[in-house]
Structure formats: structure tokens, C-alpha cells
Amino acid sequence: MNQEPEYWQTACELLVRADSVLGRLITTHRQDVLRGSGDALQTLVNAIVGQQISVSAAESIWGRLRTLIPNLEPEALLTVEEEDLRKAGLSRRKIEYIRGVARAFLKEELGEERFASLSDGEIKKRLCRLRGIGPWTADMFLIFYLNRPDVLPIEDLGLVNAAARLYGWDGEATPDERKRALRKHAERWRPWRSVATWYIWRDLDAEPVIY
């Protein structure tokens, strides 16, 4: 897995001072930091597996997929039988998405060196050209693989709802109203919104999420 982002401790110190609610979460989980797989393909495939399903369901499918393909390489994703991928729990659509990502890696269209000089917005545009990669999946790539510090994955329902509970926006608010409230509140987290997001996720799950 990749190393702790170099900005992490500085971000935590500033966020504790900027937001008392978030400060409590950071203090509670201070021993934990963001970790990614350190592998671009694994990050994207894992994020695709997790689209629109619960964390526990995604973990189960991911575990079966890694048992099926211990060495997760593009060639393996393209040659393994579709029926075996279906038995692991993947839908036909997600199999299509994952194989499309594998082909992009074989064409050397993805990887850290491709994105080093690009802004977050430019990276998201490039990633979202691939079928099956939308804003949420692109945000996971930015946070967990590229370690970009200021990403707010506003399409993450768990994040939006958890923030609504933490800050008292739940009530009768609609999903769009909650998103607007989170966007507004998260301005105080800049330029460390990835870190703030991660600690809210960390408070939701028994173990830190890794993509």
C-alpha cells in the first residue's frame, strides 16, 4: 500500500482548528491515515466493484475477485471467463466496465505519469470518458491513488448522509439540499477536503476503507 500523504499531519492540525465536529473525529481516529492500494488498476477496479452497493457487499465481491485473480493485471481481467466473474458477484455491466479499464491500461492511457501535471478537473474529464467511470469513481482515483488533497466526492451518499447527521442537516432535507449544505460547509476545509472526507468515512466504518 502507498505511504501516508506528505500533507496529512499538516492538514489534520489545520482541520482540527477549523471545525470542532471534524476535530473530534480526527482526534478519535488520529492513529489512522488514508492508505491506498498503490496500484492504479486496482484502485479503479475496486471502485467500480463498489459502485451503488453497500460497503460490505463490495468487500465480499472484491475478496472473491482477488481470489479468482490474485495477480490483478489487465491481461488477466481480459482472459478470465465471464462466467467466473459473474460467480464472483459482478454484473455483466460491471464486467464490461472493468474490461474497458483493463484495455485502457494496456494502451497506456492510465497511470500516475499521465496525470502528474493535470488538475483534478482535467483528470476527472479524462477518466469519465471511459464507460463505467463517473464522477464518484474518478474521485476515488484522485483521493486513493493520486493522493490529491482537496477532493470532495459529493456523489458519495454515505458521506453526504453522514455529514448531515454530524452537522444537523438531516431533518427533512432532500438529497440535493444535503449536498448543497455539504458543499457550503466544506469550504472551511479547503484545501484539505480529501482529508476531512476520509475522517467522516473512517467514523462510519469499522475498518478504514482502501481503494
Quote the cell numbers at residue 158.
Answer: 454515505
**Considering the entire predicted model, what is its pTM?**
0.93
Q: Looking at the chain, how many residues does it have?
A: 211
DSSP result, 37-83: -S-HHHHHHHHHHTTTS-HHHHHHHHHHHHHH-SS--HHHHHHS-HH
The enclosing H or E element of 104 equals: helix 92-106
pLDDT tens digits, one per residue of 84-143: 999 999 999 999 999 999 999 999 888 777 888 899 999 999 999 999 999 999 999 999
Count Cα neighbours of 78 within 13 Å in the Cβ-side half-sphere.
11
Delineate the domains of the chain, giving CATH numbers in brackets.
8-34+152-204 (1.10.1670.40), 40-145 (1.10.340.30)
pLDDT tens digits, one per residue of 164-202: 999 998 877 798 999 999 999 999 999 999 999 999 999
Quote the cell numbers at residue 178.
Answer: 444535503
**pLDDT above 80 for 9:** yes
- Residues 17-43 have a mean pLDDT of 94
**Exposure letters 174-195 (e unless 16+ CB within 10 A, then b):** eeeebbebbeebbeebeebbbb
**Secondary structure class of 111 (helix, strand, coil):** coil
**pLDDT above 80 for 2:** no
